[in-house]
Amino acid sequence: MNDEHEYQEAIERAAEVLRDAQRPVIMTGAGVSAESGIATFRDPEEGLWAKYDPMELAHIDAFERDPELVTRWYHWRFRKCKDAEPNAGHRAIAELQRRVPGTVLVTQNIDGLHQAAGSEGVIELHGSILRWRCTDTGAIVPIEQIPFEEFPPRSITGGLLRPDVVWFGEMLPPEALEAAAEAVSACDVFMSVGTSSVVYPAAGYAEMAASRGVPTIEVNPEPTPLTARVDVSLRSGAGRAMPDLVRMAFGN
Ligand code: OAD
């Protein structure tokens, strides 16, 4: 962590940039939901990928090989996400969208917590675990109609149901990719919040913005491959830094 003085200075610099912005892009990752009790992926002890093998659980081949195992695991994660509450970081991002209506929020998260905090127009690059779809028809099945007593769950027509998320080995949704690329190419500030910045294309967006001379800000208690390249690094949890930043930029 920065010491307190460095942190305050960084908040002031970030607030100055944000105050003038009309089209900021906020890109979020699992870290923004950590303070809501949702595990991140790459934390060396508590991260999901420290405990589970993504190739066994989050790959399209894994679902095809063992749909029971994969849907049980996603149902466990679904319940965690459904029961979680948005935290101060999510709420501050929603507040920023109200203060600066041109703000575009792009997330790699599948937990729906930005929407629960009041964010609108969220671009979900990796889908949502709160939606499940039929692998036969592609139709989204309302969650309360899914028979989670048996695994893998099936639709009334007998098709296997799966979470509407992006697995390894799958393409990202083209509309979300297009919307994100368009927002990044038009943004006047780029913020990366709570992501390790190692998974593409999300990790490349900051570089795209920076190459146009757009100011870049990172919020993360740990350094990432992006840290040395951003204009302002806020070394803190999003639950503290985002409310501090919005308050400093726009007042209470
Ligand atoms: P990671 O687990 O890779 O990174 C989470 C980041 O959040 C780390 O850099 C942490 O330091 C940081 N962090 C932890 N607590 C934080 C807090 N309170 N506030 C802010 N930051 C905090 O998660 P992602 O970057 O989201 O994809 O991972 C990207 C993708 O990789 C995920 O969407 C997932 C994963 O494999 C798929 O499953 C397809």
Strand (E) or helix (H) holding 15? helix 4-19
Within its chain, how far is the Cα of 210 from the centroid?
20
pTM of the model: 0.97
42 to 176, 203, 207, 226: CA distances (angstroms): 24, 15, 22, 16
Q: How many CB atoms lie within 10 A of CB 114?
A: 25
Render each residue's pLDDT in the chain as its tens digit; 252 residues.
448 999 999 999 999 999 999 999 999 999 999 999 999 999 988 999 999 999 999 999 999 999 999 999 999 999 999 999 999 999 999 999 999 999 999 999 999 999 999 999 999 999 999 999 999 999 999 999 999 999 999 999 999 999 999 999 999 999 999 999 999 999 999 999 999 999 898 889 999 999 999 999 999 999 999 999 999 999 999 999 999 999 999 998
Q: Is beta strand 140-141 parallel, antiparallel or unpaired with respect to 127-134? A: antiparallel
- Catalytic positions: 126
Measured from CB, residues less than 6 Å from any atom of ligand 1 are 29-32, 34-35, 40-42, 47, 58, 108, 126, 166, 194-196, 199, 219-222, 224, 237-239
Closest ligand 1 atom to residue 42 Cα is: 2
